[in-house]
Amino acid sequence: MKWDDLKNWSGYWDQLRTILLDPKVDEALLEKSLQEAREKMPVPVLWLIGKTQAGKTSIIRAMTGSETAEIGNGFQPCTRQSRFYDFPADIPVVRFLDTRGLGEVSYDPADDIHYCESKAHLLIAVMKVADIKQQPVFEVLHTVRERHPEWPLLIVQTGLHECYPVGGQHIDPWPYDQTPLPDAVPADLKRALSAQRDAAANLPGHAPVRWVAVDLTLPEDGFEPPEYGLEALWQAIEALSSLGLENLLTRGEAVHDLYERTAHQHIVGYATTAAGLGALPVVDLVAVSAVQAKLLHSLATLYGQTWDKRTISEFLGLMGAGVATGYVARLLGRTVAKVIPVLGQTVGAIWGASASGATTYALGKAAVYFFVRHRNNLSVDSETIRRIYAEELERGTAILKDRLQGKS
């Protein structure tokens, strides 16, 4: 882009509109920056172990609200005998690690322990209550707790209804945190629950062990509620880990919070990339704009929105000429500073990184507001979106300053 072109701010806004439709970026640089953003914001990891058909996938489905098919297609191998499931898939807010084959094949947990010991925030063992042959699971738990006595352990007992008498239904209120178990619990179920709990008494380690009994079924199975004990499971996870996952995934503005955190990780990663480009002694502004365009494409996909000429024109129109003027002026300012001999190599680089990264951050945050309103079929207020851009421009400058100085 030439200097004369930059003097025409409205023309640059038109140029940006063109770039938004067809962003071209250095994908390798972009992925590197996104990976750095992920590492700076570690994802909570829940490590699930158990025998096949113990109910691990049902737990993931209940916690995330994902359909079974989506989960089945979303698992990826991470070690020789384990796999992970990220939710959401692109930039996750939670990761589930799932060991496979316990009790069916010779299972050496060494690889999994090595992989998970620096990553897992909580170990969850899943046991079907009607399955008395849990020795393979306890052997793994013994190994893990011996090696990591400080790790808390949550043991989830599943499939309660398999031990109900004919026609039996869930007990209301949920009683399985009582010791001893109350008489209302069917005798066969009580014996099965107690046998598994007694078997865990000799596990090594000093961190707490907590038990939760759940019955996560499908609506057509005829048990009400189908996610029986889920609240108790959430309470146990929060008590042992303090991860705040229930707030993030299920309560209040749950979906909003989930998307917002995912979007934030996108935005910070792309802003870091733009800052890196902006710090270069000579760089075409089209490169920075292309990164910003790629970010907006990514956010549109995250929120399930169509990103076409009409939507782009609406977004830029709502942002207004004032934002366009300030946007280009900041980028122009860093270009001027960077061409000054000597001074431009220091002040110009910092200015360039700050301007490029901060405008990227602010555009991303404004776009989140835009996409959320569109997704909910609500009107977008031009004053609000401009205020968000202005506020986030300041916040983005501070965030990028910390990152460039290595403070975050």
Tens of pLDDT, residue by residue over 144-167, are: 899 889 888 999 999 999 999 999
| Angstrom distances, CA of residue 402 to CA of 159, 272, 345, 396 | 49, 11, 20, 10
Is 133 in a helix, a strand, or coil? Answer: coil
pLDDT bin (cut points 50, 70, 90) of residue 115 is confident
351's tokens = 């200015």
pLDDT bin (cut points 50, 70, 90) of residue 134 is very high
CA 251 to chain centre: 16
Evaluate whether 371 touches 297 at the Cβ level (below 8 Å). no
CA 147 to chain centre: 28
Of 35, 45, 47, nearest to 91 (Cα)?
35
- Which range has highest mean pLDDT (18-27, 81-90, 200-209)? 200-209
Average pLDDT over residues 258-274: 72
The tens digit of pLDDT for each residue in 315-352 reads 888 887 666 555 555 454 444 333 333 323 333 333 33
Average pLDDT over residues 373-381: 90
pLDDT given for residue 161 in this prediction:
96
Is 128 a residue whose pLDDT tops 90?
Answer: yes
Is 130 a residue whose pLDDT tops 90?
Answer: yes
Distance CA 277, CA 138 (A): 52
pLDDT given for residue 379 in this prediction:
92
pLDDT given for residue 252 in this prediction:
36
Sequence letter at residue 64: T
The tens digit of pLDDT for each residue in 38-97 reads 565 566 788 898 888 899 988 988 887 766 545 556 666 555 667 778 776 665 667 888
The pTM for the full model equals 0.58
Sequence letter at residue 368: V
Of 272, 293, 275, nearest to 13 (Cα)?
293
End-to-end Cα spacing for the chain: 33
Under DSSP, the state recorded for 180 is: S
Mean pLDDT of the chain: 75
Q: Which helix (H) or strand (E) holds 212?
A: strand 209-213
Q: In terms of DSSP bridges, do strands 82-87 and 153-158 run parallel, antiparallel, or are they unpaired?
A: unpaired
Evaluate whether 82 touches 113 at the Cβ level (below 8 Å). no
Under DSSP, the state recorded for 51 is: B
Higher per-residue pLDDT: 308 or 322: 308
